[in-house]
Structure 1
Amino acid sequence: MRSRVRSAALLCAATALAAGAAVPAAVPASAQAARAPMDPNPLVVVDCSAQAHVRPEEYLLACGDGNNRLVNLRWNSWGQRTATASGTDMVNDCTPYCAAGRFRAYPVTVTLSHPRPWPGHPDLQRYTTIRLLYTDKAPPPVAKDVTYKLVY
């Protein structure tokens, strides 16, 4: 009985090893490209905490109180001059005051632009401008198309 268990365990282990050895040959080219060396001078967007990000899924716009955040960002491009995403701007309506307010969702197209060297980080450039184009209505009193400087 003991030898059967040992044989079964060895057979399972051999099968697992053989299956694992076959995986790299089956990896699609797109996944292999994802493992390619990183760009030596990547462009980043810097957040409120002075952390660099590439294609973030979320981005805090209101650093002081957290009442405005971009979420569900899906990046269409991340280039040497601009980066473009679609997502949702979650904005606290602050009614009757911010602590009691509700977050409301506004569909938005986000464009990062104007890359510049990031002081203190000689190998990185950061986007310095963010444009928000609301694809439905904008949160009052904001215009449907606004551009802000990123100062972090």
Structure 2
Amino acid sequence: MTFDKEKMLELCNTWSENTLMETLEIKYIDAGEGFLTASMPVNPRVHQPMGLLHGGASVALAESVGSAASMMFINPEKQEARGIEISANHLRSKREGMVYATAKIIHQGKSIHLWEIKIVDEAGKLVSLCKLSNMILPRR
């Protein structure tokens, strides 16, 4: 089976319709062997009261891209990925612009996928570093 980047991005963006990802304006923009990248604008929609990027919005971005990335390694007609644990370290604040989250596979087991997700700004400076564990389940 060959990896089809355009098909993967189209599928992820289609799945996002009418979800939190659409509300946060998360867009899947790049994919390759073992990674997936998404973007999210930083604006009042994702601010906390002090006008900074809300940590929860960063975690939502990280979990979204990491969960979608697991779909590259399973058969979505027979299996589904569920996030079971996420951790985040917020290292830099952001008031406006864009952030980019790239999920890279650390461990690809039959029932557990472990992802490292780096969220960076336009200059490539690290904003948040996250780790996500996904459980792979039979589709119900």
Report the TM range for the smaller structure's normalisation.
Answer: 0.3 to 0.5
Asked which structure has the greater CA Rg, the reply is 1
TM-score (norm 1): 0.34
TM-score (norm 2): 0.36
